[in-house]
Structure 1
């Protein structure tokens, strides 16, 4: 068995009810009760082109599940707390003959809505505008965060600090992907000028970022190194105009590495990634200064597995700080740690 390049979403409410959102010629919500027993499934859209590159799902602190997907316009989905009923409404239209949207992201803060996405001209698939729509007090404001060029379209990562987003993303500089960040100022409703973090003239893919409770940022991605892509880890404190890098190191040598991601459990930091269709894990107990030998999860040898975003309000899950996770295909058990 091997890795399947897809990404589902696992959501656990505070009462331990779970939803697994995945794709099967459309968006499917699988509902599990508080005992972990499967109850029902509902497909909300019959569309074989909808997948993790054009949809996103999460939950708020009140156990309301919500999300967004692109289907000739952005649609918003919500599943109110204490319910498994799914509601849908259009939220943003655009000219589908001229443009396309990838990696839509949505986040609600009280009565405000933030939507971020890449918008591409259909005649230029490697160049996009990274746009932000902000709804506050009933009014929408649109901001351009940056114009982005990438050899391969890749996701961005949003970290929230005091109800304001910070976005991390790759952009080409002299033909190489370098890492940038920008901050949103909710007072002026504007984004800072993009700030470049890396400048080593090496192509990069598969970004993942988490911030721990000490305001320390952990960043991992795959970086071209000779005849393959290696897992690269950096960390540090984020200042107003720079990342004060403390550690920068390769976790692996060049190979076929894909989709590195974090799980931080108290003081133990795990990095998991896919290589040759198998799930590898390494961990650090000293804030990334040294790393364990790689291990391969046995389940990734025996079963098909996929990536999954993971969001939870369940109290026992609070010890985990998660980027994304890996899980058995058609199951919800977590792998790799």
Structure 2
């Protein structure tokens, strides 16, 4: 067995999740490191030269983060995680153009409400990009038909509230470019069925709440210190 040290990292307080993408020419590995602030980094292993290349910092916001998933589709790297804000969590999505070892952020989106989402998961299926997650013992999701530029409303899958739901590991076929995922939520039963993407049967729309902005009154008195 051959082992290599890929990177030396610091963790904030929780276990460090990893997200790995493998294809015919390279391995992409995303992970957290704490360098003054907590960020997500990505490092590539070239299968031809058998070497690790320099890491790239992906995220640029200072919020503490949790969870991690990524998929690579048509030279677009799709990243999802949760970030803390005001004691709550929110699902965050980012997309990067990936070409010739360069990563350029193209867009980002706040996907969920500020609640308690868990395990955000990326799924590309039948021409749609899905983000699914667990929230209050139910599976919620949104989808994009344009690769992440715009997003559907939030859907709650009613079946998920009536069954025990687990997160399954899924081994994608690298030659099947129409179905890409690392994990999926599904019913815990002998009759395996996935929940959170596909036809919108037995779902309900959850309103996306707007953030409350703090408005200060005009003509505040000056305070001398």
Once residues 109 and 57 of structure 2 are traced to their aligned partners in structure 1, the CA distance between those partners, rounded to angstroms, is 18
2:108 maps to which residue? 248
1:158 Cα deviation from its structure 2 partner: 1.3
Q: Is the 8 A contact 2:172 2:180 kept in 1?
A: no
2:30 maps to which residue? 168
Once residues 146 and 226 of structure 1 are traced to their aligned partners in structure 2, the CA distance between those partners, rounded to angstroms, is 31
1:163 Cα deviation from its structure 2 partner: 3.3
Distance change >3 Å, CA 264–CA 187, structure 1 → 2: closer
How do 1:184-203 and structure 2 match up within 5 A? 184-203=45-64
Distance change >3 Å, CA 291–CA 187, structure 1 → 2: closer
Q: Is the 8 A contact 1:195 1:241 kept in 2?
A: no
Gaps of 5+ in 1: 1-139
1:318 Cα deviation from its structure 2 partner: 6.3
2:198 paired with 1:319: no
Distance change >3 Å, CA 147–CA 312, structure 1 → 2: closer
Deviations 1:278-310 (A, max 9, x none): 110111111111111111111111111010111
SS, match of residue 235 in structure 1 = strand
1:239 Cα deviation from its structure 2 partner: 4.0
The equivalent position to 1:295 in structure 2, one of 136, 155, 160, is 155
Once residues 125 and 140 of structure 2 are traced to their aligned partners in structure 1, the CA distance between those partners, rounded to angstroms, is 17
Q: Judging by fraction of residues, say which structure has more strand.
A: 1
1:309 maps to which residue? 169
1:312 Cα deviation from its structure 2 partner: 5.4
2:20 maps to which residue? 158
Q: Is the 8 A contact 1:197 1:242 kept in 2?
A: no
Distance change >3 Å, CA 186–CA 141, structure 1 → 2: farther
Deviations 1:207-246 (A, max 9, x none): 010011x211111111112221100000021245542111
2:129 paired with 1:269: yes
2:56 paired with 1:177: no
How does the TM-score come out when normalised to structure 1?
Answer: 0.54
Aligned-pair Cα RMSD in Å? 2.0
In the alignment of these two chains, the number of paired residues is 194
1:279 maps to which residue? 139
Once residues 267 and 201 of structure 1 are traced to their aligned partners in structure 2, the CA distance between those partners, rounded to angstroms, is 33
Higher relative contact order (CA 8 A, sep 6+): 1
1:161 Cα deviation from its structure 2 partner: 3.7
SS, match of residue 160 in structure 2 = helix
Deviations 1:241-280 (A, max 9, x none): 5421111110023210110112212321111001112110
Q: Is the 8 A contact 1:143 1:191 kept in 2?
A: no
Once residues 221 and 240 of structure 1 are traced to their aligned partners in structure 2, the CA distance between those partners, rounded to angstroms, is 25
